[in-house]
Amino acid sequence: MFDMNLENIRVVMVSPLYGGNIGSVCRAMANMGLSDLAIAAPRKTDEGETRMMACHSVGIYDERKEYPSLAAAVADCGAVFGTTARMGLYRAHAATPREWAPRILEMAATAPVALVFGREDNGLSNEELALCSNIIQIPTTEEYSSLNVSQAVMVTCYEIFTAAGVYAPPEEKSPPASHDLRERMFAMWRQTLLQVGFMSEDKSDHMMMGLRRILGRGAYTEDDVRILMGMARQTAWAATAAQKLNERAEDPLVEDRV
């Protein structure tokens, strides 16, 4: 539904220092369905490292736009979201990327929305933060709150991508097994385990309690339960066949025939 809106979301890097980080940002953007990269107040960086870290997303780097300042990079944006790990001044107005994501997508329906990421060494200046209409703060431990810039881009874009609902979770997944199906499976194993002599009738309730816990923990889906049922069925068949062979072996008439 929000697929189109992702096109309206711009990642703005302010004066990045390391080419490798620019490349990692491109790759994170590509993973999460974004493509509009702006670099504000660019510095000289190692382009070889950018290309190496970008891997197959280097097209995003090649189509980046460069601007003399942050103000210029966000001039056409309807909303500007700054990221910061710093406490104090702006902390009171900050929210997490998960909290902001739906609003970012909503806003991106009508105008470009900028996500602004600061320098590796100094983050965003107070003047740059003042240009931001909203502040994003990524949850971290208090002990180490400074994220690598490309990791900050990844977490932010991941939350937006996830909120956009573009991602289709695995489809062929087997549905959870019903209570009934699980009970049938346990009943089959009970029968089989009696038959192979793993337990006697008088101990069977106690043994099955343990087995129910073990098998029940591992078998979530219909597929899981059907695999365990197949095992029980096959074991019972093999035991019966062996028994019959045994009976024949003990049968004097059979011996005659051998």
Which parts of this chain interact with its own copies (CB under 8 A)?
Answer: 20, 24, 27-28, 30-33, 53, 55-57, 91-96, 98, 137-141, 143-148, 150-151, 154-155, 158, 161-162, 166-167, 169-170, 172-174, 221, 223
Least distance (Å) from its own copies to the CB of residue 201? 34
Nearer to its own copies, 161 or 236 (CB): 161
How many Å apart are CA 109 and CA 186, to the nearest integer? 53
Nearer to its own copies, 204 or 221 (CB): 221
How many Å apart are CA 160 and CA 221, to the nearest integer? 30
Least distance (Å) from its own copies to the CB of residue 219? 12
Least distance (Å) from its own copies to the CB of residue 128? 20
Least distance (Å) from its own copies to the CB of residue 211? 19
Least distance (Å) from its own copies to the CB of residue 105? 15
Least distance (Å) from its own copies to the CB of residue 154? 5
Contacts 24+ apart (CB under 8 A), 26-30: 26/50, 26/53, 26/54, 26/57, 26/58, 26/60, 26/61, 27/53, 27/54, 27/55, 27/57, 27/150, 28/150, 28/153, 28/154, 28/157, 28/158, 29/57, 29/60, 29/153, 29/157, 30/56, 30/57, 30/60
Q: Locate the DSSP E strands across the chain.
A: 9-14, 36-40, 65-67, 79-83, 94-95, 113-117, 134-136
Least distance (Å) from its own copies to the CB of residue 209? 20
Beta strand 36-40 pairing with 65-67: parallel
57: helix, strand or coil: helix
Nearer to its own copies, 4 or 245 (CB): 4
Nearer to its own copies, 166 or 231 (CB): 166
66: helix, strand or coil: strand
Check: CB of residue 215 under 8 Å from CB of residue 231. no
Nearer to its own copies, 150 or 192 (CB): 150
Nearer to its own copies, 162 or 204 (CB): 162
Nearer to its own copies, 86 or 212 (CB): 86
How many Å apart are CA 93 and CA 134, to the nearest integer? 7
Alpha-carbon torsion, ordered 155, 158, 160, 162, to 10 deg: -140
